[in-house]
Every structure is written in structure tokens, then in C-alpha cells.
Amino acid sequence: MANRKAKAIGINHVVLEVDDLDEALEFYGKLFDFALRGRNEHNVFIDLGDQFIQLRLGKTQEPDGARHFGLVVDDRNPVNEALKELGVELLERGMNFLDPWGNRLEIVSYNEIQFTKAPNILRGMGIENIEKTPSAINELAEKGM
């Protein structure tokens, strides 16, 4: 049998540990427009298009340093304004910040990166007419996409 390797296609979800599910929903609800997928005693699931974030009760680690994940948005300005209103300080580069539980996020603009969603997915999310920047288009073209 040949050594076939699985081809990674993308990320289905990310789990963030928090100390309070209601507070986490309130915090993230001030930053993003999202749909609540589900909830149980220890978890909350937030739909982000065709993916989701799971908020899990029980913080077990120190605040993130360089470890983080990039969350893609249609417009970074409302997030930036909400972070200011909440008194959340941006970290050393870009739109990086720590949530109240020490999870580090980087907010990335959809039009500036090679990450893409199919038109029907974007429409289903209520997003239309976001033009990719030339550099994002070049990144995609270099990969034949």
C-alpha cells in the first residue's frame, strides 16, 4: 500500500477555554455578529459561516503568548471600535488582542488574504461584493486557484 497522506482542507472549529460561558457570549457578541449553534452545561457553539467556535468552560492554561488563531472578518473597523469601547488593548502587531480569558486572536480582513469562501457560502452569510486585494489575488494565482 502506498504512503498516501490526507490532504488538509481547512479548519472545522477552534475551541477556546473560558471561565464563564455567559460572559464569553456577551464579550464575543459585542465584537461579532454570530449565530448560537448550540449550548450545553460546559460548552457553547457559535456559528461562523460554515465553521464554528466552541467556547468551553474551564480555563486550564496561562494567557497566550505568540500562540493564537486568525479570525477572518468582512470588516475589521467595527471590531476595532468594539475593542476600544471594551477597553481591550491591541498587542504588538496588527489586530491581535487577548480576550478576558487570555485567548489570543488576530482579526484578519477577508479581502487581504488568500482565504476564500465560495460565492454561495458568502451569500448565505449575507456578504456580497468583497473584492480581494491584488496581493491576495496574486497569492491565489501562484497556487493555481
From first CA to last CA, the distance across the chain in angstroms is 31
Count other C-beta atoms under 10 Å from residue 131's C-beta: 9
pTM for the full predicted model: 0.87
Work out how many domains the chain is built from and give that number: 1
Does 49 map to a domain? yes
Q: Is residue 138 part of a domain?
A: no
Which CATH number fits the domain that encloses residue 35?
3.10.180.10
Q: Is residue 80 part of a domain?
A: yes
5-32 pLDDT, tens digit each: 988 878 889 999 999 999 999 999 999 9
119 domain residue, yes or no? no
Strands, DSSP E only, in the chain? 13-18, 35-39, 43-48, 51-57, 69-73, 96-98, 104-109
What one-character-per-residue DSSP string does 101-139 give? Answer: TS-EEEEEEGGGSS----HHHHHHTT----PPPHHHHHH
Q: Which cell goes with 74?
A: 468582512
**Arithmetic mean of pLDDT, 96-122:** 91
- Quick check: is 47 in a domain? yes
d(CA 42, CA 21): 8
pLDDT value for 37: 93
Whether 54 is covered by a domain: the verdict is yes
Which cell numbers hold the place of 134?
Answer: 491584488
Which structural domain range is residue 41 located in?
13-58+67-110
